Amino acid sequence: MKKLLTLLLVTFLLLTSTFVLSASAANTANGTQIFSAHCAGCHINGGNIIRRGKNLKKQALKKYGMDSIEAVKSIVTNGKNNMSAYKDRLSEQEIQDVAAYVLEQAEKNWH
């Protein structure tokens, strides 16, 4: 009985983690499209054509406290200084997706 419960638990955990990974991949894939359509004009390859230092590279995100999903979602939603707000143009899910994409790309150094 103990082995059966262990086997069921392991199976459940494997299925759950596979689902979570698939959902994450789908979100960043959607985030890629959103970024291309709404963000790449100013932030091509994680840069910033308006203010060079305020780019989307890992070091800059960390320096300015923008290295969490919540922080990126907040600036995409509400904007700041020259950055436009997207709360009226993107859904909450789209904002979540593009924020996940930005952080993923920052980890990869935008390659």
- Closest C-alpha among 76, 81, 82, 83 to residue 98: 76
pLDDT tens digits for range 4-47: 555 454 454 454 444 344 345 558 899 999 999 999 999 999 99
Q: What is the pLDDT of residues 50-96, one digit of tens each?
A: 998 899 999 999 999 999 999 999 999 999 999 999 999 999 999 99
* pLDDT at residue 19, rounded to an integer: 37
CA atoms within 13 A on the CB side of 94: 15
d(C-alpha 89, C-alpha 85), whole Å = 8
Give me the pLDDT at residue 21, please. 42
3-state DSSP assignment of residue 85: coil
- What CATH number belongs to 29-107? 1.10.760.10
Helices (H) and strands (E) in the chain — how many of each? 5, 0
